[in-house]
Amino acid sequence: MTTRRQFLASALAGSSGLGLSSSLQAIEPIQRVGKSHLRLSLAAYSYRQYLDLNRKPKPEMTLADFIDRAAELGSDAVELTAYYFPETTPAYLAGLKARCTRLGLDISGTAVGNDFCVPEPVKLKAQLGMVKTWVEHSARLGAKTVRIFAGKVAKGDSEEKALARCTEAIQEACDHAARHGILLALENHGGVTATADQLLAIVKGVKHDWFGVNLDTGNFHTADPHADLARVAPYAVVVQLKTEVFPRGKPGEEADLKKLTGILREANYRGYVALEYEAREEPKTAIPRTMEQLKKLMG
């Protein structure tokens, strides 16, 4: 019986669409020098109900407002989600970059909502084009990473075919990202990345220096989310930290932030940890409190 990993290896070896060769080797955990160093970022998605561009008569918060708020909360950086950009003109992007620079904030990354499992060639090309466009926007912003998704298996498709298709698309997107100095970070986000095994099957199928994982601490809804996070942490290039975890069969539980940051330190992770707040408590109340907790844990 052919395993998923064996299928990916054979599919990639035989691929001609992206010029992949049979000599590709599985990606290795990131080799980090120095001790673990965690830097705090804040994801715009945490304020999604206020940034929603469909809110009438207009959004309560703009991205500029969000950047100001992150600075007030003592963040080192911001993660700017693509959904909340009213425009992406060079002048608008330059304005956001300048605002961050004046406030001493980095842009740890941007985040897009693509699907690389779609079986229709035209739709897949459009998804790839969108990611490439956001790589270029992110480079103009001075961001470090772009969070991407893998997607889910379409009706009538097989997981094996979807995984091979997704892996090829990521490889091509990474080629483009490399030319712009941007790291692509694949999130564990349900679908074909719902488990650590599924995520790592894709991660190890992509051979590229400009690729890694966006580790979301709340997205493994498995029997032991913490064990799965520990398995994937060595491949992380950016982290989204949530205030809840979801062990299989249980509703959301309050996350042990010390344990989560401990997993990152154990993996010798060096980089940004973006608070992505999704719990029910009012964000304007919960986020400042959580940011203070995280600053103490990362200090």
Model confidence at 17: pLDDT above 50: no
pLDDT at 249: 66
Residue that is written with structure tokens 């950047």 in the block? 67
Say if domain 34-298 classifies as CATH 3.40.640.10.
Answer: no
Mean pLDDT to the nearest integer, 96-103: 98
pLDDT at 25: 52
Model confidence at 35: pLDDT above 90: yes
Model confidence at 61: pLDDT above 70: yes
pLDDT at 252: 87
Domains of the chain by residue range: 34-298
pLDDT at 26: 55
User: What are the C-alpha distances in Å from 222 to residues 152, 195, 286?
Assistant: 17, 7, 26
pLDDT band (50, 70, 90) for residue 65: very high
pLDDT band (50, 70, 90) for residue 22: very low
pLDDT band (50, 70, 90) for residue 251: confident
pLDDT at 19: 35
Q: Tell which residue, 241, 239, 264, 236, has the closest CA to residue 254.
A: 241
The model carries a pTM of: 0.90
Q: What percent of the chain has pLDDT over 90?
A: 88
Alpha carbon dihedral 88, 93, 94, 100, in 10-degree steps, equals 170
